Amino acid sequence: MFHAAAKDFMLTKEHIMSQFSGKSVWVTSADRYMGPSIADEFERLGAIVTRDMHVLYDDHYLRETLAEIPDIVIANLAEPPRKDALEAIQDDDWNLLFDHLVHPLMRIVRHVSGPMKARGHGKIVAITSAAPLRGIPFASGYCAARGAQNAFIKGAGLELAKFGVQANAIGQNYIENDTYYPPELMQDPRFISNLSSQVPTKKVGRGLETAKLAAYLADPDVEHVVGQIIPLAGGWTT
């Protein structure tokens, strides 16, 4: 076995070096949600990572910041849900979710699509949510905004497929991150009890799991996954 393993390792090293080394990866809102985990993982894989710390991603900002289109775009956008009954939804809360989750995603994809199509390759991985796959009571605004993101990526992924560009989303839930699972929530007995009754794995997953899935979707070898919303939620949704 030893010799085989040694040979395998050589192949592995070479193989992996060829996948992401020298690739440019642009991670949005890199200090929030899955930004840190994903940026760390791509760096570990040898990519050249830009940790962008913006939120709104208006056209002006995109033109200034993203004059050069990266190989891989991680569209990581986050805004905590406002937990409220339907009749108590506030216009400001509702609008904020669309302003911070939906419209920036469109602007980012609009900005990079043309150049990616022109050069015949490119990867867009949106980090969205499993919430709209199953629905969450008292978080309908959040479901709506994340549902808009997921549906947008489906259309975008199908549209870009024949140009050699792949767009997909990771629809996660119950994955550790500071935005949705701050330490105080993670220690809240009601939250722990909810985990136990609602999540088949009975726990919150690690950020590394999302990061590795993002790396799979951004792998240059992977061209056949397009327009997919891949659930990553401890079995909360199948």
Q: Using CB under 8 A, which residues numbered 217 to 236 contact its own copies?
A: 219, 221-235
Nearest approach, Cβ of residue 123 and its own copies (Å): 13
Which span (62-70, 71-79, 146-154, 180-188) binds its own copies, by CB under 8 A? 146-154
Nearest approach, Cβ of residue 223 and its own copies (Å): 6
For residue 56, state whether it binds its own copies (rule: CB under 8 A): no
Which span (30-38, 67-75, 142-150, 183-191) binds its own copies, by CB under 8 A? 142-150
Nearer to its own copies, 110 or 119 (CB): 110
Which span (31-39, 65-73, 143-151, 184-192) binds its own copies, by CB under 8 A? 143-151
Nearest approach, Cβ of residue 188 and its own copies (Å): 18
Annotate the chain with DSSP letters as a single string.
Answer: -HHHHHHHHHHHHHHHHHHHTT-EEEETTTTSTTHHHHHHHHHHTT-EEEE---SS--HHHHHHH-SSPPSEEEEE---------GGG--HHHHHHHIIIIIHHHHHHHHHHHHHHHHHT-EEEEEE--SHHHH--TT-HHHHHHHHHHHHHHHHHHHHHGGGTEEEEEEEE-SB--TTTS-HHHHT-HHHHHHHHHH-TT-SPBPHHHHHHHHHHHH-TT--S--S-EEEESTTS--
Which span (29-37, 72-80, 128-136, 184-192) binds its own copies, by CB under 8 A? 128-136
Nearer to its own copies, 179 or 237 (CB): 237
For residue 148, state whether it binds its own copies (rule: CB under 8 A): yes
Kindly identify the residues of this chain, within the stretch 162-181, that bind its own copies according to CB under 8 A. 162, 174-175
For residue 102, state whether it binds its own copies (rule: CB under 8 A): yes
Nearer to its own copies, 65 or 228 (CB): 228
Q: Positive or negative CA dihedral for 103, 109, 110, 111?
A: positive
